[in-house]
Amino acid sequence: MSKRTFGLTAAMVLCAGALTGLPAMSAHAAKAPVKCHLTYSLSGWSAIYQHAEGHGSVTCDNGQASAVTISMHGGGLTAGKFHVSGRGDISNVYGISDVYGSYAQAGASAGVVRSGTAQVLSKGTTSIALSGTGEGINLGVAIDAFKIEPAR
């Protein structure tokens, strides 16, 4: 074996040895997203400004679950009291803690309290598709904030 071949072989062995000391990293640095589901019940009032509070539960496909409190604020041409029950599908989360926070409306004005309506709200890259049925008088409701917090 020549000196040159020996030198190249020694360099390759040293580099390979140095690489084995580094921590192994998977091709996916983060866990895969999970799907979470919200069931909720809200009651509130509106007189141009709308406010509602309620409760619900979140369950995720990874087995995590939590009772939650919900508050909603918005505006529009509204008047009266209302009650809404519904569900939501939450996407692009990696755990239940990603569900908590304030969501804003992603599209045009929609009424969440009219029977059979749906809308999509977002918080960064996380989105929640809400559907619900309710009773009350509300026209042209625009949700400014839909907040989900862990129940106390």
Averaged pLDDT, groups of 10, the chain, 152 residues long:
45 42 41 90 80 94 96 72 88 95 66 58 91 68 81 90
Q: Partners of 29 in the beta sheet? A: none
pLDDT tens-place string over residues 3-18 = 444 443 444 444 444 4
Q: Quote the pLDDT of residue 23.
A: 42
Q: Quote the pLDDT of residue 141.
A: 55
Q: Quote the pLDDT of residue 58.
A: 98
**16-30 CB burial, b ≥16 within 10 A, e <16:** eeeeeeeeeeeeeee
Its pTM surpasses 0.75: no
Pick the closest to residue 85 from 121, 44, 50, 48 (CA basis).
Answer: 44
